[in-house]
A = this chain, B = another copy of it.
Amino acid sequence: MKAETFKVACSNCNLRELCMPVGFDEKDMHKLDEVVTTRKKIKQGELLFENGETFTSLYAIRTGFFKTSVASEDGREQVTGFQMAGEIIGLDGIVSDQHTCSAVALEDAEVCVMPFDHIEDLSREFPVLQKHVHKIMSREIVRENGMMMLLGNMSAEERLANFLVNLIQRLFARGQSQSEFILRMSREEIGSYLGLKLETVSRTFSKYSEEGIIEVKQRHIKILKPDVLKQLVKSPNCK
């Protein structure tokens, strides 16, 4: 059940600053529109791509929310990231021409399909696009370095604080409320991402709640003391 497709352009996309390079003049901007061939709608719970699937395209998220995950031989799942509007997914597929993780929509979503061949062709023509692609990939590498720090060194409390602060920052960058939001993922998915069990995630939420740092009602989160939360975060030290 493949979702509908549309023909669209980056040049007048309100997310452009989040997902595409700046510094294009009018003329080049329209050439850049060629990066995106179509849009695609993904319903909640559906796969955008799956482990093992042939890699053809990167996807820019226009609306909605995704999780990516890898699976071990014996079926354990590790959530490797949560992605929202303006973010690019599919980079894992480049190395071997097939995806090594799966991407599932956690709410109804729409993505811009960017065939990687187009991206490569255009980025030979436009150095600013080339640079941008490199930065996107490097950013992902740096993010995962940070996740290794989190998974290898941090306590449950630090992990969850990290998770929440990161979420807040990304919501802020999108002009959404930083103090109140709805989690798109289950406790189990948060746990998988943070290397914890769902019970531990739940207990840690409760602990923060008792301490008056946040207010939790199922998936509704209200941040009462963002500063306390930020103090709990010992993010990788960038000089």
A residues adjacent to B (C-beta < 8 A): 51-52, 70-74, 76, 78, 80, 91-96, 98, 100-101, 120, 123-125, 127, 130-131, 133-135, 137-142, 144-149, 151-153, 192-195, 234-239
* A137:B141 contact, CB within 8 angstroms: yes
For A134, the chain B residues whose CB sits under 8 A away are: 94, 120, 133, 137
Report whether A135 and B235 are in contact in the complex, using a CB–CB cutoff of 8 Å: no
Q: 20 new A-B pairs (CB below 8 Å) besides A152-B194, A153-B195?
A: A70-B146, A70-B236, A72-B153, A72-B234, A74-B234, A76-B149, A76-B234, A78-B148, A80-B145, A91-B137, A91-B138, A92-B145, A93-B138, A95-B135, A95-B138, A95-B141, A123-B130, A140-B141, A144-B147, A152-B193
Residues of B within 8 A of A123 (CB): 124, 130
Q: Count identical subunits in the complex.
A: 2
- For residue A152, which residues in chain B have a CB less than 8 angstroms away from its CB? 78, 151, 192-195
Q: Name the B residues within 8 Å of A140 (CB-CB).
A: 141
A-B pairs with lowest CB-CB distance, top 6: A52-B239, A94-B138, A152-B195, A151-B151, A144-B144, A95-B138
Instruction: For A93, list chain B residues within 8 Å (CB).
Output: 138
Question: Among the listed B71, B127, B135, B151, which residue makes an inter-chain contact with A237, where contact means beta carbons less than 8 Å apart?
Answer: B71
**A235–B70 Cα gap in the complex (Å)?**
10
CB distance A145 to B148 under 8 Å?
no
A142 to B81: give the CA distance in the assembly, Å.
13
Question: A139 vs B194: C-alpha distance in the bound complex, in angstroms?
Answer: 22
Residue from the set A91, A100, A124 with the largest chain B CB neighbour count within 10 Å: A100
Residues of B within 8 A of A94 (CB): 134-135, 137-138
